Structure 1
Amino acid sequence: MKTTARIAVPIILVLAVSLFFQGHNLPGGGFIGGVLTTTAFVLVYVAYGLDYLEAGVLDREVDPGTGIFEHRSVTAYRRTFVLGLTIVVGSGLAGLLLGGSFLAQDYVILHDVPVYHEVELASALVFDLGVYLVVVGGLLTILSVVGAE
């Protein structure tokens, strides 16, 4: 399982980023990117355990006496959820503040970009980022709490 996770996780994360950036042109980029990112984290948790990210990757000491709700990872996931929710609401209200309708969007085309030549940046990408953070934060909080039981 550990060998499979080492191979599959980077592939899943690259695919998640790719689908996320397609989302401003196609529907659902933030959601499916968030679900795939959560899938990568789940593979790491199944292969290495919940404390692997804290102890193995971030080189932090894990206090075994803390409850799951006080665990650093779960706290970070909850903050990610709140940040995503703030971005989603903020992107909706930005249209109202600029004199348009709720969730109004616009785009700009950047010319002479190396490799791509032209890149279209849509304001819907900000909304997709918020959705991505809500999905990742929410699902990882739920999975961490349920997995610790």
Structure 2
Amino acid sequence: MTTVMTRTTARVVVPIILVVAISLFLQGHSHPGGGFIGGVLTVAAFALIYIAYNLDYLEDGVLGREVEKEESIGEHRTVAAYRRLFMFGLVVLVASTFSGMLLGDPVLSQYHRSIHLPLFGEIELASALVFDVGIFCIVVGGLLTVFSVVGAE
């Protein structure tokens, strides 16, 4: 049973955690941060929601997943969705790792391009962001799978 104070704190802190996670994720290719820490912070925000409310609220209310009680945990559709996210991240990670070889460059080669956006000015795009997307999906998919399996028991 959680208190009103815990739920109120979660409502205030979770958006802050998610904004910091997105910030660290987006700047990770050129500053400390990246897909791993962004994914860990995202899952930490979801864990705080799980602690303050419950697993069904997290999966149904926040993540928009339909919760079905009669299925075993190994066949649960939510766990399968997290595993698909994990596998998608793995495919993106491997593809971005070896994409440089298709262009005749070494493995894990990075490519940079700057573009000018009217309101934001010069924005640097880096291929390392694709790598970070893969890491992010692996971390979020893997840790949410663990939370769902452990939380359902």
The alpha-carbon deviation at position 24 of structure 1 amounts to 1.3
Q: Give the share of equivalent positions with the same residue, in percent.
A: 61
> Is 1:75 aligned to 2:62, yes or no?
no
User: How far has the Cα of 1:61 moved from its partner?
Assistant: 5.1
2:81 aligned with 1:96, yes or no? no
User: Is 1:2 the counterpart of 2:13 in the alignment?
Assistant: no
Give 1:52's match in structure 2, choosing from 52, 57, 66: 57
- TM-score, with length taken from structure 2: 0.88
* Cα deviation, residue 129, structure 1: 0.6
**Per-residue deviation at 1:60?**
6.2
Please report the TM-score for the alignment, with normalisation by the length of structure 1.
Answer: 0.91
Counterpart of 1:106, as a letter, is: Y
Give the 3-state SS of the residue equivalent to 1:110 in structure 2. strand
1:1-20 aligned at under 5 Å gives the runs 1-20=6-25
Deviation string 1:69-104 (CA, Å, 9 cap, x unpaired) is: 222321111111100000000001111111111111
Flag as ranges the 4+ runs of structure 1 deviating above 4 A.
57-61
AA at the equivalent of 1:29: G
| Number of aligned residues | 148
Task: Tell me the SS of whatever aligns to 2:67.
Answer: coil
**Deviations, residues 54-76 of structure 1 (Å, cap 9, x unaligned):** 43346665321112222232111
On the 8 A contact 2:89/2:138 being kept in 1, the answer is yes
Looking at structure 1, the residues matched to 70 and 84 of structure 2 have their Cα atoms a distance apart, in angstroms, of 22
Instruction: Provide the alpha-carbon RMSD of the alignment.
Output: 1.7
- Which residue is equivalent to 2:141? 137
Partner of 2:3: none
- The verdict on how the C-alpha distance between 1:139 and 1:55 changes in structure 2, with shifts beyond 3 A counting, is closer
Q: Is the 8 A contact 2:86 2:142 kept in 1?
A: yes
